[in-house]
Chains A and B, each alone.
Chain A
């Protein structure tokens, strides 16, 4: 594949599916610098994955898989080798906007952020309406294993929501 075609596909994917990337970044990175760093890392991995894409799955599923894998590995790497380079003078590829945010979705992301990195992947797929079969195909685990994880995550989210309902969420 030549670079021009690769760039064309990448730009199309970025335009159509940036929402997926934003959700994943919001669930895994909690500071503007981290969000920028993770966005660059995910974009890079998506770019590198393009020549391997055979069209056997939807581009959105493909991007989800690549981005979730990258974010999960990034979080662990970030724990052991935190970002040390000062980013003040670096041109950011991603910036956080000042638009008002929905308090409830902010709360939901906070709860997702409390989960283990792998569970966050399951949680995002679950909230985005993927079936157990699709989730099993993306993650590479059995449907019954997905079922166990989903059950636990649902219980956790419902429990947390009950606790904050008293505070007027």
Chain B
């Protein structure tokens, strides 16, 4: 059989009613899961910016009313700085996402980039957020008659837990996913595999 005959077989299948769609069930599913990963990422970033901004402003107001404002004002600056950092990081992410072209290779590149981004996020949260916060609380707890020692201890436990959680997440979810995507990309783009 030559290829043209195979194409005739292919073209004749249009009359085959292979499947039936249940539109109500489909719309219910889409309604449940319709928001994209990008939407979740946007929401996460807005929450991160909002919470840090709120805590920063609240601590600033508190420190202005307080007799001993140094402790709260240092924390306030940290939270406000992190809110600004998160906002800038969001702008960078949005700019970095633009160049992916609308092809299957482009989709794979975008998906790989997002996995990398999620993996970096976990590491960055520990290095740029939890460790500085723990360091500030540690210094302040000693300066402030060890009143904040419990908070410092809690932060250390959180850092250790966050580190192991992030390692587990990378190993079990993100890395296998990334390897799958990279294997697909390799298969699609490499001629030598033929």
Residues of A participating in the B interface, judged by any CB pair closer than 8 Å: 7, 10, 14, 18-19, 22-23, 25-26, 35, 39-40, 43-44, 47-48, 52, 56-57, 65, 68-69, 72-73, 76-77, 80, 91-97, 99, 101-102, 104-105, 108, 116-118, 121, 127-129, 137-141, 144-145, 148-149, 152, 154, 157-158, 161-162, 165, 169
- Nearest-CB distance from A28 to chain B (Å)? 13
Residues of B participating in the A interface, judged by any CB pair closer than 8 Å: 1-3, 5-7, 9-10, 12-14, 16-30, 33-34, 36, 101-108, 111, 176, 180-181, 183-184, 187-189, 191, 194
Total A-B contacts with CB atoms under 8 angstroms apart: 143
Provide the residues of chain A in CB contact with B36, threshold 8 Å: 48
Partner of A162, one of B1, B105, B176, B194: B1
B30 touches A43 (CB 8 A): yes
A43 touches B189 (CB 8 A): no
Complex: chain B residue closest to A66, CB-CB: B107
Provide the residues of chain A in CB contact with B104, threshold 8 Å: 65, 68-69, 72, 121, 138-140
Complex: chain B residue closest to A116, CB-CB: B187
Provide the residues of chain A in CB contact with B21, threshold 8 Å: 14, 18, 39, 93-94
Given the interface contacts A43-B26, A158-B2, does A140 sit within 8 Å of B101 by beta carbon?
A: yes
B13 touches A94 (CB 8 A): no
Provide the residues of chain B in CB contact with A44, threshold 8 Å: 29-30, 33-34
Given the interface contacts A69-B107, A140-B103, does A22 sit within 8 Å of B19 by beta carbon?
A: yes
A25 touches B12 (CB 8 A): no
- Nearest-CB distance from B172 to chain A (Å)? 11
* Bound-state Cα–Cα, A118 to B21, Å: 26
* Bound-state Cα–Cα, A26 to B19, Å: 9
* Bound-state Cα–Cα, A7 to B26, Å: 12
* Bound-state Cα–Cα, A43 to B3, Å: 31
Complex: chain B residue closest to A100, CB-CB: B16
Given the interface contacts A40-B26, A43-B29, A92-B25, does A25 sit within 8 Å of B19 by beta carbon?
A: yes
* Bound-state Cα–Cα, A35 to B111, Å: 23
Provide the residues of chain A in CB contact with B23, threshold 8 Å: 14
Provide the residues of chain A in CB contact with B2, threshold 8 Å: 158
- Nearest-CB distance from B38 to chain A (Å)? 8
A140 touches B105 (CB 8 A): yes
B191 touches A148 (CB 8 A): yes
Provide the residues of chain A in CB contact with B14, threshold 8 Å: 19
Other A-B contacts than A57-B102, A91-B24, 18 sampled, CB-CB below 8 A, are A10-B30, A35-B19, A44-B29, A52-B102, A56-B102, A76-B183, A77-B180, A91-B28, A93-B25, A97-B17, A99-B18, A102-B12, A102-B16, A105-B16, A127-B7, A129-B7, A140-B104, A158-B2
A73 touches B111 (CB 8 A): yes
* Bound-state Cα–Cα, A166 to B13, Å: 23
